[in-house]
């Protein structure tokens, strides 16, 4: 059933909803239905089809009534459990779509929430996405540099790319979307699968065990031969040879690249090794690391999942897309926050939710009922 968006003419229900308090409407629209019945209980409303009404409208109306009654029943049950009054919607809040109102209620009542975080969450902070042409670097497709083959062929160019990306991440700041997801884990039993490598989730206070950065980190480096891993290095640049001046515009194809000898790149400090270090990220063609996947799977195996939140990603690539299907099998409803709608790829189906827009602005709004509102992002983050 398609519900009315703001500024659009709401569809009619095609049936009569009546209240035992004689509050009712004939062929009322969806938005008006919410306004009229938000304060009623399940025992106060009945529905009767309008005789000779077009079947399509009658069926749409019955669907609306069933959904509304289920929501009211859920609210009443929650009141009985908590022995507390559930706040009624204010006049200004009555303009939300029924679809959104049901999401807010479901999010509040959810106990276990699984989140999948993609590049679209960090784009508002100034971090380009690999899948966007604006993210290209010196006419290189970053996806072509992020491979084991590219590193074997030219480790200097790959390290210069990651050094540039790393510097940008260090100078960027988490946005309100990062803060909202970090705050959500304080109120819910949650697990966030982070596909980003920029460290902004962690700087927003979203850390293990509620966050698993399955694709690695720009601030890790690991040996190409032994088991050495350098973790949490914020030195910028990681070695002196990779230093560049702010005004050189290294991302500009017109600016000449430095010819960096192999011996000046980062090398393993482990005794009896001394082999080349590589960025500690998962490249295209590589498997996700075992340990974070084990922890994610262990969390998922603990019980049913109430809500799956997909933020800033089309989830076209496995294993990301696989987690969405796995969560749905465990009972999760799915909410997607993204600039583009890729419902088929993400396994979206009714009665799920899609919120189109900037993830840094949309995410705080849809979780406000749980985490509250945010002020300015601290400059120290």
The angle subtended at Cα 294 by Cα 289 and Cα 297, nearest 5°, is 125
What does each C-alpha distance from 128 to 7, 125, 255 come to in angstroms? 33, 9, 20
| Listed residue (118, 97, 96) closest to 363, CA to CA | 118
Tokens of 8: 């659009």
Q: How far apart are CA 27 and CA 58, in angstroms?
A: 10
Q: How far apart are CA 325 and CA 347, in angstroms?
A: 7
Q: Which residues are CB-neighbours of 318 under 8 A, at least 6 positions away?
A: none
- CA 245 remoteness from chain centre: 34
- Asked if residues 249 and 255 have their Cβ atoms less than 8 Å apart, the reply is yes
Residues that are catalytic: 215
- Asked if residues 26 and 16 have their Cβ atoms less than 8 Å apart, the reply is yes
List residues bridging with 307 in a β-sheet.
113, 333
Neighbour tally for 181: CB within 10 Å: 30
């Amino acid at each position: 059933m398609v519900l009315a968006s703001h500024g659009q003419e709401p569809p009619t229900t095609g049936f009569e909803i009546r209240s035992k308090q004689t509050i009712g409407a004939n062929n009322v629209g969806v938005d008006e239905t919410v306004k009229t019945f938000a304060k009623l209980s399940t025992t106060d409303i009945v529905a009767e089809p309008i005789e000779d009404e077009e079947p399509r409208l009658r069926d749409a109306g019955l669907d609306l009534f069933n959904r509304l009654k289920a929501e009211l029943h859920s609210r009443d049950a929650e009141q009985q459990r908590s022995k507390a009054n559930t706040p009624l919607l204010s006049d200004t809040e009555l303009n939300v779509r029924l679809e959104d109102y049901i999401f807010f209620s479901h999010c509040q009542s959810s106990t276990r929430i699984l989140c999948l975080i993609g590049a679209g969450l960090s784009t508002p902070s100034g971090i380009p996405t690999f899948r966007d042409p604006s993210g290209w670097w010196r006419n290189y497709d970053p996806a072509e540099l992020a491979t084991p083959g590219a590193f074997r062929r030219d480790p200097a160019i790959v390290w210069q790319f990651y050094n540039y990306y790393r510097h940008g991440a260090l100078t960027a700041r988490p946005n309100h979307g990062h803060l909202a997801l970090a705050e959500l884990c304080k109120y819910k039993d949650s697990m966030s699968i982070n596909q980003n490598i920029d460290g902004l989730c962690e700087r927003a206070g979203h850390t293990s065990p509620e966050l698993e950065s399955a694709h690695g980190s720009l601030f890790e480096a690991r040996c190409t031969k032994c088991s050495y891993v350098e973790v949490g290095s914020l030195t910028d640049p990681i070695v002196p040879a990779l230093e560049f001046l702010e005004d050189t515009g290294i991302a500009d194809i017109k600016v000449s690249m430095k010819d960096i000898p192999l011996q000046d790149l980062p090398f393993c400090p482990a005794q009896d090794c001394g082999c080349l270090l590589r960025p500690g990220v998962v490249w295209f063609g590589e498997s996700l690391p075992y340990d974070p996947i084990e922890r994610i799977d262990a969390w998922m195996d603990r019980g049913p999942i109430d809500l799956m939140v997909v933020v800033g990603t089309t989830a076209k690539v496995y294993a990301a897309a696989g987690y969405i299907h796995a969560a749905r099998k465990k009972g999760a409803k799915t909410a997607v926050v993204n600039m583009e709608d890729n419902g088929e790829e993400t396994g979206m189906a009714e009665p799920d939710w899609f919120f189109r827009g900037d993830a840094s602005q949309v995410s705080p709004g849809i979780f406000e009922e749980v985490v509250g509102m945010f002020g300015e992002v601290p400059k120290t983050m």
